[in-house]
Amino acid sequence: MIQNMDSVRLDKWLWAARFFKSRSLATEAITLGRVHVNDSRVKPAHPVKLGERVRVQRGHERLEVLVRMLSDVRRSAPLAQLLYEETPESVTLRQEVSEARRLYTEPARAIRGGRPTKRERRQIERFTRDE
């Protein structure tokens, strides 16, 4: 899995580490500024080196990882997880955000869509008739 290399293109490494399903999605995320290396916005061809800090944002999820190994080949998920180590701050922040999202209820869920039921129609008629 590990080849003797000093650096790998950022988009290839993100794809190999399974942060994105394809290299084109990784390239798009980097171009849109959703991926930073050492707190700097970079280009898809940026060479990633061992020990660098990579911050990735995918939807609501924000990850901050340290590069532990280099690979430009996509392998199985357990092997891909060996390429990086998530920082403790990132783990706690991700858990807090996940818990907050779990406890949050969407206000629109309380609004029932569609036609009113027979009971609701009668209530509407009573309300409008009383005016």
Calpha distance 62→91 (Å, rounded): 9
- pTM given for the model: 0.76
DSSP state of 43: -
As a whole number of angstroms, the distance between CA 23 and CA 27 comes to 6
CATH of 8-104, one of 3.10.290.10, 3.90.1200.10, 3.10.50.40, 3.40.50.300: 3.10.290.10
| Region at 28 (left for phi over 0; alpha for psi -120 to 50; beta for the rest) | alpha
The structural domains of the chain, with segments of one domain joined by +, span 8-104
Average pLDDT per run of 10 along the chain, which is 131 residues long? 77 96 96 96 96 93 95 94 96 92 78 82 86 59
